[in-house]
Amino acid sequence: MLNIGGLHQGVVIDHIVAGMAMDIYDYLELGKLDCCVAIIKNASSRKMGRKDIIKIEGPFALDLDTLAVLDPNITVNMIQDDTIVEKRKLRLPEKVTNILRCKNPRCITSIEQELPHVFRLTNPEKRVYRCAYCEQKYKESNK
């Protein structure tokens, strides 16, 4: 069993689907941070079997809500003085840009590559995002 040391101050992004940590690392642009970042892949999990975890050290400002768009099961724990001070509940953002991609071949984004892919949350309960241009519902299989 690999041990990664505790965190004095920072964020633990937990319950990431195994294999997805690097996608989230890239999406959050963690490579640009100066602080210490640990990526734990394939950690054992009673709930998930295997999972990924990311630990980020230090105070910083990150828009973590968009993680809820990528994976609703992700949990975020804020750590201060070695203890969890907040279990952050991720809220689905009203609008996301260049996170989801519209795959509708009839959408204007299919021919104008420079347009940002903008999606709006139209049904928070059912987690429905629709393309701001063609209003097509985003489907996971479109990822």
Residue 114 phi, psi dihedral angles, 5° rounding: -80, -10
96: contact with another protein by CB under 8 A: no
How far, in Å, CA of 12 to CA of 34, rounded?
17
Identify the sign of the CA torsion 136, 64, 24, 26: positive
Q: Which of 12, 56, 131, 138 binds another protein (CB under 8 A)?
A: 131
Closest to another protein by CB, 43 vs 107, is 107
Interface with another protein includes 9 (CB under 8 A)? no
State which residue, 29 or 125, has the beta carbon closest to another protein.
125
Closest CA to 15 of 37, 40, 56, 48: 48
Per-residue interface string for the shown chain with another protein, residues 98-127, x marking contact by CB under 8 A: ------x-xxxxxxx-xx------xx----
The minimum distance between CB 27 and another protein, in angstroms, equals 24
- Among residues 103, 93, 51, 58, the alpha carbon closest in space to that of 73 is found at 51
Interacting residue ranges for another protein, rule: CB under 8 A: 104, 106-112, 114-115, 122-123, 131-137
